[in-house]
């Protein structure tokens, strides 16, 4: 791929819309969107990979990690793709029996033909073809999303009843009392069958309602992920690894600033939420210590509270210096699945997840991201996301919460609904879920 050619832009939002319309012309693409969050100095506002000159999809049990490592040696440069939750089955002696009607592979990456990088002032184009022609194609795209046909309202079903959810949480708490584990992220699925949606329009609606720093629109032929994720799984800059697990949630009240501030303070001072967060922080520290230089793993921020459109979230930041001679596959193998979506201790809670959850997670609670030609990489956590298989017309979204012995099952159920509020609104525009 050629070096970037930079073009100035006049209208930031207009260019972002054109990028989405350009993406929609391809069978494979990955659109990553920062939504102008400035938790740190972002490298880009939007990153779009389109076209495919090489790809590899593999499943756990097929030596998936080594397949990707070997394949990458023949395909250096930009890589975009995903990590599915069930890669855990290759890392530990685990299995998954539930059906998966979306059908993403456990791991998949592609080499794009073109990468477009939107900053505040420029659009940078890397391509195997002609950058000027690609820029002209981008500028020829529509500057509106409204022309797409609306998605009909969808009848969302619960995979499990509220009563079954509460019963499962109580059984999980019995495991905690017995000392089997300390904390487990327990999830439930909502779904629709025989549904037809417009992924690009839904992405635009969802991220306007709930803009998030790790949003993504990801397409692999007939499979889509429409994500408004607020969470980073892991990032590498130079030799530094950064992980930012979320654990701790409080509802926003945008109609009353005083109540909203009060809810935020409740989260900041909640011993329950802080105990959940610190358990995940310890898990991430342990994971990073396996691959980082001795003494380099540090907690850069503990219990930071950040505000998003629907919720306040407690986020901690852990960093470390990657040990010499290790690569990104080593990093993923040591840290995946992310602690915020499992619990502690990791292997035992993954066994309990398989025992008590009613749905296969698939891409949900996995990751989407990219590898830069310079060796840096960044992956989100696939939460607050709609998954869609256009062939079998199946729509799915899952939500979860951290279960500890102190958890109130009713409140955990309500937290799951809170986290799905924006998705419910764009899919059915009611509060019936």
pLDDT at 431 over 80: no
Q: Which fold has domain 5-428?
A: Anthranilate synthase (3.60.120)
pLDDT at 430 over 60: no
Q: Rounded to whole angstroms, how far apart are CA atoms 294 and 161?
A: 47
| Phi, psi of 165, deg, nearest 5 | -60, -50
Is 209 within 8 Å of 426 (Cβ atoms)? yes
| Phi, psi of 386, deg, nearest 5 | -100, 130
Q: Work out whether the CA dihedral 127, 118, 202, 308 comes out positive or negative.
A: positive
Question: What is the enclosing helix (H) or strand (E) of 108?
Answer: strand 107-111
Is 388 within 8 Å of 199 (Cβ atoms)? yes
Q: Rounded to whole angstroms, how far apart are CA atoms 314 and 267?
A: 7
**What residue ranges do the domains of the chain occupy?**
5-428
pLDDT at 149 over 60: yes
pLDDT (mean) for 279-286: 96
Tokens (6 digits) for 301: 């921020």
Q: Where are the beta strands (DSSP E) in 9-53?
A: 28-33, 46-50
Q: Model's pTM, two decimal places?
A: 0.96
Q: Are strands 232-237 and 298-307 parallel, antiparallel or unpaired?
A: unpaired
Q: Rounded to whole angstroms, how far apart are CA atoms 218 and 387?
A: 10
pLDDT (mean) for 303-329: 96
Q: Rounded to whole angstroms, how far apart are CA atoms 220 and 291?
A: 31
Q: Rounded to whole angstroms, how far apart are CA atoms 143 and 146?
A: 9
Q: What is the pLDDT of residue 153?
A: 80
Q: What is the pLDDT of residue 371?
A: 97
Q: Rounded to whole angstroms, how far apart are CA atoms 114 and 135?
A: 11
Is 89 within 8 Å of 60 (Cβ atoms)? yes
- Reported as a pLDDT band with limits 50, 70 and 90, residue 428 is confident
Question: What is the enclosing helix (H) or strand (E) of 419?
Answer: helix 409-419
Instruction: Tell me the sheet residues that pair with 234.
Output: 379
**String of b and e for 406-421 (b: at least 16 CB within 10 Å)?**
ebebeebbebbebbbb
Angle between helices 12-23 and 131-139 (to 10 degrees): 100
Q: Are strands 5-8 and 114-118 parallel, antiparallel or unpaired?
A: unpaired
Q: Work out whether the CA dihedral 313, 316, 317, 318 comes out positive or negative.
A: negative
pLDDT at 43 over 90: no
Q: What does the angle CA 129 – CA 133 – CA 139 come to, to the nearest 5 degrees?
A: 135
Q: What is the pLDDT of residue 175?
A: 98
**Nearest residue to 84 (alpha-carbon basis) of 100, 66, 67:** 100
Q: Rounded to whole angstroms, how far apart are CA atoms 393 and 397?
A: 14
From 30-34, 149-153, 172-176, 406-410, the region with the lowest mean pLDDT: 149-153
Q: What is the pLDDT of residue 114?
A: 98
Q: Rounded to whole angstroms, how far apart are CA atoms 339 and 359?
A: 19
Average pLDDT, the chain: 94
Is 243 within 8 Å of 288 (Cβ atoms)? yes
Tokens (6 digits) for 137: 């194609």
At residue 165, the 3 state secondary structure works out as helix
Is 17 within 8 Å of 145 (Cβ atoms)? yes
In tens, the pLDDT along 65-124 reads 999 999 999 998 999 999 999 999 999 999 888 889 999 999 999 999 999 999 988 999
Tokens (6 digits) for 242: 């950064």
Q: Rounded to whole angstroms, how far apart are CA atoms 415 and 394?
A: 24
pLDDT at 147 over 80: no
Is 310 within 8 Å of 270 (Cβ atoms)? no
Tokens (6 digits) for 385: 């996301």
Q: Rounded to whole angstroms, how far apart are CA atoms 233 and 214?
A: 10
CA distance from start to end of the chain: 47
Q: How many residues are listed for the chain in this entry?
A: 433
């Amino acid at each position: 791929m050629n070096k970037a050619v930079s073009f100035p832009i006049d209208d930031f939002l207009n260019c972002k819309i054109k990028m989405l319309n350009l993406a929609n012309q391809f069978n494979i693409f990955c659109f990553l969107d920062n939504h102008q969050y400035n938790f740190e100095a972002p490298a880009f506002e939007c990153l779009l990979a389109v076209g495919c000159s090489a790809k590899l999809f593999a499943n756990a049990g097929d030596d998936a990690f080594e397949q990707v490592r070997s394949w990458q040696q023949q395909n250096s440069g930009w890589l975009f793709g995903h990590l599915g939750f069930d890669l855990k089955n290759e890392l530990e002696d685990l299995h998954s029996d539930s059906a998966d009607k979306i059908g993403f592979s456990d791991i998949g990456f592609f080499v794009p033909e073109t990468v477009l990088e939107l900053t505040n002032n420029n659009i940078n184009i890397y391509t195997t073809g002609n950058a000027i022609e690609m820029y002209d194609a981008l500028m020829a795209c529509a500057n509106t999303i409204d022309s797409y046909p609306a998605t009909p309202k969808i009848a969302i079903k619960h995979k499990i009843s509220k009563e079954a959810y509460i019963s499962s949480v109580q059984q999980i708490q019995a495991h905690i009392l017995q000392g089997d584990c300390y904390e487990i992220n327990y999830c439930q699925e909502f779904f629709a069958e025989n549904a037809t949606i417009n992924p690009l329009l839904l992405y635009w609606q969802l991220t306007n309602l709930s803009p998030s720093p790790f949003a993504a629109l990801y397409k692999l032929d007939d499979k889509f992920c429409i994500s408004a994720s607020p969470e980073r799984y892991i990032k590498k800059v130079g030799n530094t690894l950064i992980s930012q697990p979320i654990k701790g949630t409080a509802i926003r009240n945008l109609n009353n600033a005083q109540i909203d501030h009060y809810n935020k303070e409740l989260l900041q001072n909640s011993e329950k939420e802080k105990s959940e967060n610190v358990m995940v922080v310890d898990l991430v520290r342990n994971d990073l210590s396996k691959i980082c230089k001795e003494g380099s793993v540090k907690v850069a921020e503990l219990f930071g509270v950040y505000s998003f459109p629907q919720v306040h979230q407690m986020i901690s930041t852990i960093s470390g210096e990657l040990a010499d001679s290790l690569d990104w596959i080593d990093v993923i193998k040591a840290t995946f699945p992310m602690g915020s979506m499992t619990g502690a201790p990791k292997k035992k809670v993954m066994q309990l997840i398989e025992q008590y959850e009613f749905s296969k997670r698939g891409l949900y609670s996995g990751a989407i991201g990219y590898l830069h030609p310079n060796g840096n990489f960044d992956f989100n956590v696939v939460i607050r996301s709609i998954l869609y298989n256009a062939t079998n017309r199946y729509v799915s979204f899952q939500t979860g919460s951290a279960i500890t012995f102190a958890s109130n099952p009713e409140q955990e159920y309500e937290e799951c609904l809170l986290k799905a509020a924006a998705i419910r609104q764009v899919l059915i525009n009611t509060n019936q879920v």
